[in-house]
Amino acid sequence: MYVAVKGGERAIENAHEWLAEERRGDVSVAELSIPQIREQLALAVNRVMAEGSLYDPDLAALAIKQSRGDLIEAIFLIRAYRTTLPRLGLSEPVDTGAMAVDRRVSATFKDLPGGQVLGPTFDYTHRLLDFALAAEGFAPAEAPQGTPREEPVPHVTEFLDREGLIQPEEERDATPPDLTREPLKLPAGRPLRLQALTRGDEGFVLGMAYSTQRGYGRNHPFVGELRIGKVAVEMEIPELGFAVEIGEVTLTECETVNQFKGSKTEPPQFTRGYGLVFGQTERKAISMALVDRALRWAELGEDNVGAPAQDEEFVLYHADNIQASGFLEHIKLPHYVDFQSELELIRKLRREAETATRREAAE
Amino acid sequence: MTRAQPGPEASMSDYNFAYLDEQTKRMIRRAILKGLAIPGYQVPFASREMPMPYGWGTGGVQVSAAALTPDDTFKVIDQGADDTTNAVSIRKFFEKTAGVAVTERTSDATIIQTRHRIPEEDLTEDQLLVYQVPIPEPLRFLEPSEVETRKMHALEEYGLMYVKLYEDIARHGEIATAYAYPVKVEDRYVMDPSPIPKFDNPKLEMAAIQLFGAGREQRIYALPPYTKVVSLDFEDYPFERTRAQEDCGLCGSGESYLDEVIMDDAGGRMFVCSDTDYCRARREAGHRGSMADEGEAFA
pLDDT of chain A, 363 residues: tens digit per residue: 344 445 678 888 999 999 999 999 999 999 999 999 999 999 999 999 999 999 999 999 999 999 999 999 999 999 999 988 888 888 999 999 999 999 999 999 999 988 899 999 999 999 999 988 888 777 888 888 888 778 889 999 988 888 889 988 888 888 889 998 899 999 999 999 999 999 999 999 999 999 999 999 988 899 999 999 999 999 999 899 999 999 999 999 999 999 888 887 778 899 999 999 999 999 999 999 999 999 999 988 888 999 999 999 999 999 999 999 999 999 999 898 889 888 888 988 888 888 888 888 887
Mean pLDDT of B36-59: 96
Per CB-CB distance under 8 Å, the chain A contacts of B243 are: 344
Give bridge partners of residue A250 from the DSSP assignment: A230
| Proportion of chain B above pLDDT 90, given as a percent | 84
Concatenate the DSSP letters of all residues of B83-109 into one string. Answer: -SHHHHHHHHHHHHHH--EE-S-GGG-
Q: Is B273 a catalytic residue?
A: yes
Interface size between A and B, measured as CB pairs under 8 A: 161
Predicted complex ipTM: 0.86
Query: Which residue in chain A has the smallest CA separation from B54?
Result: A326
pLDDT at B292: 81
Which of B113-122, B147-156, B214-223, B283-292 shows the lowest per-residue confidence on average (mean pLDDT)?
B283-292
Alpha carbon distance B40, A303 (integer Å): 37
pLDDT at B120: 97
pLDDT at A271: 93
Among B251, B252, B289, B295, the active-site one is B251
Among B248, B249, B252, B289, the active-site one is B248
Shortest Cα distance, chain B CAs vs residue A326, angstroms? 4
pLDDT at B12 over 70: no
Is the Cβ pair A2, B261 closer than 8 Å? yes
SS3 A43: helix
SS (HEC) of A93-120: CCCHHHCEEEEEECCCCCCCCCCCECCC
A residues 168-227 closer than 8 Å to B (CB): 180-187
pLDDT at A73: 97
pLDDT band at B8 (very low <50, low <70, confident <90, very high): very low
Task: Yes or no: say if A330 and B214 are a contact pair by the CB < 8 Å rule.
Answer: no
Chain B interface includes A6 (CB < 8 A): yes
Chain A interface includes B77 (CB < 8 A): no
Taking alpha carbons only, the member of B186, B184, B195, B191 closest to residue B224 is B186
Q: Which residue has the higher pLDDT, A360 or B70?
A: B70
Length of chain A as a residue count: 363
Task: Yes or no: say if A112 and A156 are a contact pair by the CB < 8 Å rule.
Answer: yes
Q: Which residue has the higher pLDDT, B119 or A146?
A: B119
Per CB-CB distance under 8 Å, the chain B contacts of A327 are: 54-55, 134, 216
Burial of A177 (0-12, 13-18, 19+ CB in 10 A): middle
What residues contact residue B204 under an 8 Å CB cut-off, 6+ apart? B118, B183, B193, B210, B223, B229
Query: Which residue in chain A has the smallest CA separation from B79?
Result: A337
Out of A2, A330, A340, the one facing B295 most closely (by C-beta) is: A2
Q: How many CB atoms lie within 10 A of CB A154?
A: 13
Chain A interface includes B49 (CB < 8 A): yes
Alpha carbon distance B166, B164 (integer Å): 5
Burial of A335 (0-12, 13-18, 19+ CB in 10 A): middle
Chain B interface includes A326 (CB < 8 A): yes
Q: Is B7 a catalytic residue?
A: no
pLDDT at B7 over 80: no
**pTM for this model (two decimals):** 0.91
pLDDT at B228 over 70: yes
pLDDT at A7: 64
Answer left, alpha or beta for residue A141, where phi above 0 means left and psi between -120 and 50 means alpha.
beta
Mean pLDDT of B44-54: 94
Per CB-CB distance under 8 Å, the chain B contacts of A61 are: none
Q: Is B159 a catalytic residue?
A: no
Per CB-CB distance under 8 Å, the chain B contacts of A349 are: 172-174, 176
Among B40, B57, B59, B249, the active-site one is B40
Mean pLDDT of B172-184: 93
pLDDT at B13 over 60: no
Q: Is B248 a catalytic residue?
A: yes
Per CB-CB distance under 8 Å, the chain B contacts of A335 are: 79, 116, 195
